[in-house]
Structure 1
Amino acid sequence: MTMRTFKTMTVNCDDAGVMRIVIDVPGRPLNIIDAEVMKELDHVLDEIEHRDDLRLVVFKSGKESGFFAGADVSIIEGIETEDQADQLILAGQRLFDRIERLAVPTLVEIHGPCLGGGLELSLACDYRIARDNSSTKIGLPEIRLGLIPGWGGTQRLTRLVGLKSALDLILKGTHLDAKDAAEIGLVDRAIDPDRWRDELIRIIDQLSRGRRLRRRVNVQRRLFKAIQHSELVRRKIFAMARRVTTKQNMHYPALQAAVHAIADSFRSDSSGYDTEREEFKKLLFTPTCRNLLRLFFSREKARQRHTWTPKQDHVIHDHPIRKIGVVGGGVMGTGIAHCAATRGFNVMIKEVDPSTVDHARKRIEGLVGDYVRHKRLDSDAAKRLLSSVKFTTDSIAFSDAECVVEAVVERMDVKTAVLDQVEQFVSNAAIVATNTSALSVTEMARSMQHPERFAGLHFFNPVGRMELVEVVRGERTSDATVAKLVGFVKALGKTPVVTKDSPGFIVNRILFPYLGEAMLMVQQGDDIREIDSSMKSFGMPMGPLRLLDKVGLDVALHVARTLQSTMPAVSSVIGILSDLVDRGELGNKTGKGFYDYSHKRPRPRSGRKLLRYFVQPPPSIDFIDDGLEPMQRRLVYPMLLEAKRCLAEGVVEEGWAIDLAMVLGTGFAPHRGGPMQVLSSIGMAHFHANLARLTLQLGDRFADTDAITPTSSGFSQLQKQGDRS
């Protein structure tokens, strides 16, 4: 056996002629394709091309975490010219083309993530086998960064899996597990972890002896693929894809670019690779791509403890939270418990009596059932998941918990009573947290014996799908507590944003003026459908009035009352919500709110029938062009103004945290980068000029009364950018 060691990989060749290229990029939790990996692969390919004794080349990862996370996004973000982009993409295309043209068969072993450039490398190989466990994720997520695959992904994927599957994977940026990948022919085998080693040895032996590994794609799928690739059907599929993507192309040009590149993969020559490269270069410098890249790095930054508590980075990490308690088995409590259980935590749920325990158990069973069906887990895995959640009516069960999350009704008196009781039974090292959407963490801590070990954890509903968790620091919360909770949130697979204890924290505080303005517009006679449509055109996942119905008008009323002390303008909105709540019209859950849900499709209700009184609509006025439609301006500016205030007051220290929280917590138009980025693109001079006009037109709620220049470097930089624009 011979062995060569490089900086990012080890290459060894056994006596049977099997060369194994084991990639292990130093200093990275997951392998990435960077300049060093590409250079060393180039050297290894030189050797392979000049040897005639090799029977098989195997690519694998030396990291248990997975195969490849993709290309180094920091290199992509740092590209400044189209020439630099062209060189990078061309180098990758040529490298993978060399792999594809090797005379010796090639095999990729996939476990864990195999994404982006990692999958493009795999597509250049002859065979792919994947370990069938929950960590395996296979896909091309470049569309989420406003880009398309650039190293042959748009060309090779279509030929391998068929047009429809390729369009789905690339346009949606989704990832597949091993079984789904095998079903469409993306991998040749999905192998159970218990049989992984034996099957791997058998397959390598088979291939090294010159025998083929036959793909197990059924006849029906092969026929379907052939039909898709016939010229007539292909034209129809592409025409449909172009129609669908045209609607979003203004905000997300990568969609049309991907369709164009995939269409050219059917050319008889290699010009499809040229198309892929040209489209990638154009997309890289679009505002959408730059904003999505910025959000990508913000997300990575938020998931690091030292971002929030730099002095605590070396402390307490030897004892991460693994056992948690949850007080309250309602929707939020069971959502938190289920999420923790799926990530390997042991969870204890406390309820007040056997009856409420039974309700909580049924909720958990329902959540686990949905999860098992979605993940296609076997019965043993389902039993293990259920057994990791226990139930009790006695707080003494929390004596060995490392963190207890209170998730009871959103009332200060109830929460403080529960927290006082919990603190009597937890250990001296345990952290106690409250899941609250708006109540003061500092006020809750006043009666606690150890306020330094107490903080807020604001999970968003539904817990299983919402990525953001606001970690709320009370006045006496210690850095060590914040650091440990940031690690806990990350271990749950979610993204933490640490915020000062302030009414509404970040998301609710910035979101509510927007929702309130939408209600006032209905009161002044604006059409409900038009209001929502204008914000969907802006890039929001749904309009403000549909969102209010989904959240629940009773919940919105509670938040409004919480914010009233800091936002006096909320008073008029409280009146609107109170009338609807008193009538039992709470939105989706009661079938009526701003929409009527008794029909097949929700229908907007008449504003004049919905609200008891109307006010005079505002006079028309001319505004400075800021790229927004009139309705959008009236709805978006309250968010921008409140985001600016949050930064000025130090609710967070830097603007990127506001942008990330709003995108993850509300779906705020990702292609625009978040409220602070929108503010920067408008420019502070234009923003203040239009605010003054809105104040004249609509009242003092649009007045920037605290227009002081904050000391935050993030805001100072934003102001300079705005002034220049």
Structure 2
Amino acid sequence: MYQGKSLKVVVNSEEQIAELIFDREGESINKFDARTVKELSEAGAALAAATGIKGLIVSSAKDVFIVGADITEFGAIFEKSEEEIAAWTWEANKAFIAIEDLPFPSITAINGIALGGGFEMCLSTDYRVMATTAQIGFPEVKLGIIPGFGGTVRCPRLIGADNAIEWIAQGNPQKAEVALKLHAVDAVVAPDKLKAATLSLLKQAIAGQRDWKARRAQKTGPLKLNQMEAMMVFETAKGFIAGQGGKYYPAPLEAVKGIQKGASKSRDEAIKIEGQGFAKMAKTWQADAMVSLFLNDQIVKKKSKGYAKVGKPIKQAAVLGAGIMGGGIAYVSSVKGTPIIMKDINDKQLDLGITEASKLLAKEVERKKLTPGKAGEIIGHIRPTLNYGDFGTVDVVVEAVVENPKIKKAVLAEVEAAVKPGTIIASNTSSISIEDLATAMKHPENFLGMHFFNPVHRMPLVEVIYGPQTSKEAIATIATYASSMGKTPIVVKNCPGFLVNRILFPYFAGWECALNDGADFVKVDKVMEEFGWPMGPAYLEDVVGIDTSHHVGEVLAAGYPDRMARTKRTIIDVMYEQKRFGQKNGIGFYKYETDPKGKPKKLIDQSTYDLIKPLQPNGQVDMPDLEILERLMIPMIIETARCVEEGIVGSVAEADMGLIMGIGFPPFRGGALKYCDRMGMKYVIERCAAYAHHGKLYEPTARMKEMAAKGETYYQK
């Protein structure tokens, strides 16, 4: 009946049942782009004009149903005015409405992922049958927007306003059993029974055994809530979401307001209200940043897939050093399916490493993510040893011994002699030059850095650092190993501090300078947390460890003396001398007590002010919030720009993703360079001039000045 490039309609002439099949030409997935929406509209018109059809099945020829909208089209759409975007959503919605209004019953067979627009397509039919392996949901808030193809209208009318608010505001995918329990779908079956079950249910509707007109009326009429119920549901939800999301994540709250405003309206009126809310969110800077973040993530994932084609297969791994870090590396390797040997020079350290892995597994069992049997199997894939006896079988070795170049070089030379030819050896160093460590190796082409962030099991980023002699195969193998551990690898060129620490420490340097000029460390923490950082710089120093920070600071000062050398004594020097190392020994900028759950609780310590006082010749001053923000963020922006310009990192996207995943840069701001774009390079250059008297930390690059003069941005619209 209809054939397009994204979908087709076929009719079983014997039973007079039509099937609308999403099958995007030349792609492994289905998604809603402008072409697909246009073809859906045309298919709907063909179905409405046809005679003799008794029912419609909507299905997918791919392994997924529809993954959602084509995010790459959002940039051009979001450039339009609010009115134009709202009008665009209404035009697109006419295609979904046409399917919903067909003069016969309809049903969707959800065979795989159906998210965002994909799930909204499912909601347009009268019934839904879902495979046990499928997932549905609304991830739009994670892009800073709300559903725009009728999700905030149909979903509440099907599963209740409270459940729909939870689904939409959280943005998480929902499994089949939850969907069935809340009546988002009408049946859940094994994947091999999906087709038969869908056809059977549709035939029941055709035969009058199911009241499909009543079901349709439920979705197209007002939401069935009395005034008191509505007030309780919506006001409670708005209060909770405002407290959780705050001002930086406006989309969840906008979704609730839209559902509330459209509750008493007909479908079409409510969809127009939804479109206005969608348009409003599309014009926010949060949506701009979060869509950019999604696209950056896709770029990084695409690169990871490319490495997988070049890297060696890894069947057996090894880690040298069995402390907390070594135990964490062993855990993530084993839990993701790669057996690992854990070597140390004494039993006590091996016990510590196994204990660390066991604790992490016990937590997974407690959360019901693993069965005790599976946890036992995973711990069995971590083999502790005091010697190199079995190292002839390993494909990759991660060295995680103490952060001392002499010790590392000795260990690296030892392990290279014990492994088979071609084994890739990586050092988990946070600051030592990969080029320098490679001098201990006979085959530097097989050596590189693999920098995990602490805690290993939680932090998603791994920096893969290559030296001048590192082979492409070695880079690809370690990047692929990181991906197999569930981590995101970002490949960077060797330099002092690599990527993330190199960019973080100018931020710390700006903070130290502000403290010397009289800023209050507690106020600075509050300002930066208000900006969106998970913790302010003083608290972050305590978590990282003042001793670690002091050491890395010295490495970077030696590497970039023009802008990172400490010309004055700073609070980090004082804290280090006083052995106030932070959380690890209970006192740093803050002092720490253990709460009832066993977690460290931060308390303000007056003695910190006494230590800072001698460093502040003009005493403490009430530094304005904007000055605090700029004095910390501008050095970070400049250093990120330098890393891109010098080719330390492959792209702007990877630089920003590294900051978000490695040090918790506020995701809703999109990264340092996306944040720079939002402020405008001209403004950034002006502020650099205002702080120039603080030294080269605030000196922009020539390229940045050129961008300001030409009105250029890092991200093109």
Query: Which band: TM-score by shorter chain?
Result: 0.7 to 0.9
CA distance in 2, matches of 1:60, 1:88: 26
Indicate the SS of the match to 1:32. coil
Any conservation in 1 of the 2:534–2:664 contact (CA below 8 Å)? yes
Q: Deviations over 1:157-190 (max 9, x none)?
A: 2233333333333233233344444454444556
1:172 corresponding residue in structure 2: 170
Q: CA shift at 1:297, angstroms?
A: 1.9
Q: Deviations over 1:387-430 (max 9, x none)?
A: 55444444343434333222233222232223223323433343
The one-letter amino acid paired with 1:230 is E
Cα RMSD of the aligned pairs, angstroms, is 3.8
Indicate the SS of the match to 1:602. strand
Any conservation in 2 of the 1:647–1:715 contact (CA below 8 Å)? no
Q: Deviations over 1:78-132 (max 9, x none)?
A: 2242476345422432222233334554444445533221122223234445444
The alignment of Structure 1 onto Structure 2 pairs a total of residues equal to 688
Flag the 1:248–1:562 CA change in 2: closer, same or farther, 3 A: same
The one-letter amino acid paired with 2:235 is K
2:265 corresponding residue in structure 1: 268
Flag the 1:93–1:494 CA change in 2: closer, same or farther, 3 A: farther
1:219 corresponding residue in structure 2: none
1:614 corresponding residue in structure 2: 615
CA distance in 1, matches of 2:469, 2:117: 46
Are 2:443 and 1:443 aligned?
A: no
Indicate the SS of the match to 2:489. strand
CA distance in 2, matches of 1:552, 1:181: 45
CA distance in 2, matches of 1:389, 1:23: 45
1:197 corresponding residue in structure 2: 192
Q: CA shift at 1:385, angstroms?
A: 4.3
CA distance in 1, matches of 2:186, 2:491: 44
Superposition TM-score, scaled by structure 2 size? 0.84
CA distance in 1, matches of 2:665, 2:635: 14
Any conservation in 1 of the 2:586–2:593 contact (CA below 8 Å)? yes
* Partner of residue 412 from structure 1, selected from 399, 405, 419: 405
Indicate the SS of the match to 2:463. strand
Are 2:587 and 1:586 aligned?
A: no
Indicate the SS of the match to 1:433. strand
CA distance in 2, matches of 1:5, 1:691: 58
2:276 corresponding residue in structure 1: 278
Q: Which runs of 5 or more structure 2 residues have no equivalent in the other structure? A: 213-223, 596-600
Q: Deviations over 1:512-533 (max 9, x none)?
A: 2222433454455433331111
Q: CA shift at 1:72, angstroms?
A: 0.5
1:364 corresponding residue in structure 2: 357
CA distance in 1, matches of 2:379, 2:49: 56
Are 2:646 and 1:649 aligned?
A: yes
Any conservation in 1 of the 2:234–2:260 contact (CA below 8 Å)? no
Indicate the SS of the match to 1:598. strand
Any conservation in 2 of the 1:144–1:173 contact (CA below 8 Å)? yes
2:231 corresponding residue in structure 1: 232
Flag the 1:631–1:30 CA change in 2: closer, same or farther, 3 A: same
Are 2:469 and 1:476 aligned?
A: yes
Q: CA shift at 1:302, angstroms?
A: 2.1
Any conservation in 2 of the 1:305–1:486 contact (CA below 8 Å)? no
Indicate the SS of the match to 1:464. coil
Flag the 1:291–1:17 CA change in 2: closer, same or farther, 3 A: same
**1:34-49 correspondence to structure 2 within 5 Å:** 34-46=33-45, 48-49=47-48
1:316 corresponding residue in structure 2: 310
The one-letter amino acid paired with 1:613 is P
Any conservation in 2 of the 1:122–1:128 contact (CA below 8 Å)? yes
1:502 corresponding residue in structure 2: 495
The one-letter amino acid paired with 2:647 is G
CA distance in 2, matches of 1:268, 1:582: 68
Q: Which runs of 5 or more structure 1 residues have no equivalent in the other structure? A: 215-224
CA distance in 2, matches of 1:488, 1:272: 49
CA distance in 2, matches of 1:346, 1:201: 42
Indicate the SS of the match to 2:451. strand
**1:547-562 correspondence to structure 2 within 5 Å:** 547-562=540-555
Any conservation in 2 of the 1:560–1:574 contact (CA below 8 Å)? no
Q: Deviations over 1:235-289 (max 9, x none)?
A: 53255157437x833x444344323212223123232211211222233233332
Superposition TM-score, scaled by structure 1 size? 0.83
**1:370-409 correspondence to structure 2 within 5 Å:** 370-374=363-367, 376-378=369-371, 381-382=374-375, 385-409=378-402
2:120 corresponding residue in structure 1: 120
CA distance in 2, matches of 1:377, 1:108: 33
Q: Deviations over 1:283-342 (max 9, x none)?
A: 3233332222222222212223399xxxx879636x544543333333333333433444
Flag the 1:257–1:104 CA change in 2: closer, same or farther, 3 A: same
Q: Deviations over 1:458-498 (max 9, x none)?
A: 22223333332222121111233323433444444433322
Flag the 1:489–1:683 CA change in 2: closer, same or farther, 3 A: same
CA distance in 2, matches of 1:574, 1:26: 64
The one-letter amino acid paired with 2:153 is Q
Any conservation in 1 of the 2:413–2:441 contact (CA below 8 Å)? yes
Deviates more, 1:122-131 or 1:281-290: 122-131
Indicate the SS of the match to 2:85. helix
The one-letter amino acid paired with 1:658 is A
Indicate the SS of the match to 2:633. helix
Any conservation in 1 of the 2:299–2:653 contact (CA below 8 Å)? no
CA distance in 1, matches of 2:501, 2:671: 15
CA distance in 2, matches of 1:303, 1:715: 32
